[in-house]
Chain A
Amino acid sequence: MDLLSGLQLGFATALQPSNLMFAFIGVLVGQAIGVIPGIGAMTAIAMLLPLTFYLDPTESMIMLAGIYYGSQYGGAIVSILLSLPGTPTAVVTCFEGYPMARNGEAAKALRLAALASLFGSIVGIVIVAAGALPLSRFALSFGAVEYFALMMLGLIASSVVSSGAPLRAVAMSVLGMLLGLVGTDINTGTYRFVLTNDFADGVSMMALAMGVFGAAEILNGIGVSGKVEPSAMRLGWRAMLPTSAEMRGFFAPAWRGSLIGSLFGALPGTGGTVSTFISYGVEQRLGRKSGPFGTGRPEGLIAPEAANNAGSITTFIPTMTLGIPGDAIMALMLGALIINGITPGPAVITENPSLFWGLIASFVVGNVMLVVLNLPLVGLWVKFLSIPYWALYPGVMVCIAVGVYTFRNSVMDIYVAAVFCLIGVLMQRQSYPAAPLLLGFILGPMLEENLRRAMLLHDGDLTVFLLHPISAVCLGLTVLLLLLPLGGVMLSRLRTERGQGGAA
C-alpha cells in the first residue's frame, strides 16, 4: 500500500461517526486534563484505559492519542496564565508565556501558543505519514538481535537524555524491568516472584502507572494554587484573531521548533520534554542580541510549543513501526495496543492498515478540533481554570480506584497501587525519576523475549550482537550514552581543579 491510498483509507476511517466521536472525546479530555495543573496526560490515559475494553482497537488508539496531543494544547493555557505547568512538556512554555500574560498580552500568548501547536502538529503529521512506511519496510528485516539492541538503546537513551540524574534513571529502569518479569515465564511456564495467585499474570500495568504517576501527581497538586489575571477572564473569540504583524515573526521560530521536536520525537527513547528545552535554547542563542529572555519574548514561546507538539506526533513513529515506545505515555499506549490483541511492530501497518492510517488521519481531525477548542473557545477554558482543585481531585481519585480495579477485576491491584503510590512519593522526594520505571516495566519482558530468542537462534553466542551491523551500532550508541555523563563529570572536575590551581 502506498502513501496516497493509505491516507485515503485513513481519512475514510477517521471520518466515520464513531471514530470522529472518540477523537473528540479524546481531545476534549486531553485539553481538560492539560488545563488542570498537576494532572497529566499519563493519568488521563490510564484512567480511560479500562474503557478501551469496550471499544475496538482503532477507536481506542484514536481516543488515547487524542488525550496525549490534546493535553499539550491544554497545558499551554495554564502555563501562560498561571505559570503552573500542567504537563512536563509545558515547563518551558512558562518561561516566556507567563511574562507575556503579566505584560497584559495574555490573549496574544494564548493564540500564538495555539497556532504554534497547530503548526508543529502539521509538520509532525507530514513526517509520520511520509516516514513511517519506509521505516517499517526497513524494520521488517529486523530480527530478535536487532530488536534487543534497539530496545536497549531506547531504554538507556530515555534514562540518560531526559533526566538530570542518569545513574538514578538507569537504576529505575532496571527496577522497572525486574517488576515487569514478575509472573509466569512465557517460555517455560515457571512462576517468577509470584507471592500469591494475584501475581500469576504479573504486576498490573495500571496499578503501577496509577500509583507512581497518578496518585503522586495528585499529591503534588494539593496545596498549590494560582490566580488567573482578571484581564484574561473576559477573553472572547474576537481577541483570539491573530494580527498580521505577529504572524510575520511566527514562521521562523515555528519551523525551527517543529523540526527540532520532530527529530527528538522520532528517536526511540527521547520524548518531547527534551526537545522543548533544546528549542528554547536555540531561540535564546539566536535572539540574544535583541535583549534578554524571560521577559515575554514571543519566539521563546512559539518554538518550544511547536517542538513539543511536533514531537508528540512523531513519537508515534518508533512506537507504531518498531514497537519501541518513545516515552512513558507511549509505553502505556503500547500496553493498550497489546491488551487489544495487536502486537506492535512493523507488521501493524500491513496487517492493520485501517488502524495505522486511521490514527494518522485522526491526528489531522483532532488538531482541527483542538484549534476550535483553543481559539474561539479559549474563554471557556480560562473559566474552567477557576474551578478549585479541592473539587476536582477526589473525582480523579475515584476514577483511578475504579480504573485499577476494573482493569483486571482484582482487589489486590488496588492495594498494589497504594504501595506504588507510597513508593512514588518517596522516589520523588529522593529525585528518582518515575518515567524510566514504567518504560522498563513495559520493555523488560519484550527485551527478555528477544534476548532469549536471539540466544536460541544463535546457540547462546553473545557475539552476534556485535556481528550484526544494526545491533552493533545501537549497542555502541548505548555505551556512548552511558559514558557521556561520566565524561562530563570528569571534565567538570578537571576544570574546577584547574581553576583552583590557577587561583592558588
Chain B
Amino acid sequence: MGPGFLPFALGLLLLALGLAATLHVGLATRVAASGRIDWRATLAILGSLLAFGSTVTWLGFDPAVFLTAFVASRAERQTTLRRSLWLAAVLTVIADLLFLRALAMPLQAFGS
C-alpha cells in the first residue's frame, strides 16, 4: 500500500458523496440554507486576518495588532470610526503587554 492509496480512495469516496448530495438522494436530510451571509461582517473578519498576515513580519507586531483589531471592529455596523480607533489602540497596548512582555514571545514590536 503506497502513499497514494488512501488519498485516491478518499477522493473517490468524496466524489461519490458529493454526487449523492447534489442529487439529493433520500440519504440527505434536506436542510434549508440557514440565513443570509452578512458580507460586511465576513469581509471585516477575513480582512482582519489578511491585515495581520500582511503586516506582522514587515511593520511589526504592534501595528499588525492595531490593524487587525481595527478592521475586525468594523464588522459591527453600529461601531463608529472613533470607537474603532480607540478600541484598536487599547487592544494594541494590552496585546503588547500580554504577548511581548508577559509571555516574552520572540516577536518584534516594530519593524521587521
Contact = CB atoms under 8 A, between A and B. Distances in A.
A234 interface: no
Interface string B1-30: 111101100110110011011000011110
Interface stretch (A168-176, A247-255, A298-306, A349-357): A168-176
A387 interface: no
Given A164-B31, A460-B1, A490-B26, A222 B14 contact: no
A192 B14 contact: no
Interface string A158-179: 0000001111101100110110
B20 to A, nearest CB: 6
B7 A429 contact: no
A219 to B, nearest CB: 5
Contacts of A448: 6
Contact of B65 (A51, A192, A398): A398
Contacts of B28: 165, 167-168
A414 B52 contact: yes
B34 A429 contact: yes
A430 B87 contact: no
Interface in A313-353: none
* A interface majority secondary structure: helix
A490 B14 CA distance: 24
A414 B105 CA distance: 17
Contacts of A451: 1, 6
B30 to A, nearest CB: 9
B33 A431 contact: yes
A68 B103 CA distance: 23
A193 B3 CA distance: 11
Contacts of B65: 398, 401-402
Query: Max chain B CB contacts within 10 Å: which of A223, A398, A456?
Result: A398
A178 B13 CA distance: 11
Contact of A54 (B46, B48, B64, B103): B103
B7 A192 contact: yes
B37 A429 contact: yes
A37 to B, nearest CB: 14
A181 B5 CA distance: 11
B31 A165 contact: yes
A493 interface: yes
Nearest to B39: A425
B45 interface: yes
Contacts of A455: 1
Contacts of B94: 395
Contacts of A54: 103
Nearest to B87: A394
B14 A178 contact: yes
A177 B91 contact: no
A416 to B, nearest CB: 9
B49 A215 contact: yes
Contact of A222 (B1, B26, B38, B103): B38
A394 B49 CA distance: 11
B14 A425 contact: no
Query: Max chain B CB contacts within 10 Å: which of A171, A422, A426?
Result: A171
Interface stretch (A81-89, A97-105, A182-190, A259-267): A182-190
A171 B68 contact: no
B3 A394 contact: no
A486 interface: yes
A397 B72 contact: yes
Query: Max chain B CB contacts within 10 Å: which of A397, A452, A490?
Result: A397
B69 A395 contact: yes
B1 to A, nearest CB: 5
B22 to A, nearest CB: 11
A421 interface: yes
A215 B45 contact: yes
A431 B29 CA distance: 10
A73 B73 CA distance: 28
Contacts of B35: 429
A489 B57 contact: no
Contacts of B107: 406
Given A174-B10, A193-B7, A493-B26, 12 more contacts: A167-B29, A178-B14, A222-B76, A390-B76, A394-B48, A406-B107, A414-B49, A415-B49, A429-B33, A429-B37, A485-B29, A486-B26
Interface of A: 51, 54, 164-168, 170-171, 174-175, 177-178, 181, 185, 187-188, 190, 192-193, 215, 218-219, 222-223, 389-391, 393-395, 397-398, 400-402, 404-406, 411, 414-415, 417-418, 421-422, 425-426, 428-431, 448, 451-452, 455-456, 460, 485-486, 489-490, 493
Interface of B: 1-4, 6-7, 10-11, 13-14, 17-18, 20-21, 26-29, 31-35, 37-38, 41-42, 45-46, 48-50, 52-53, 56-57, 64-65, 68-70, 72-73, 75-79, 83, 87-88, 91, 94-95, 99, 103, 105, 107
13 contacts: A166-B29, A177-B10, A178-B7, A219-B45, A390-B83, A394-B48, A397-B69, A402-B95, A406-B105, A414-B50, A426-B37, A431-B34, A490-B26
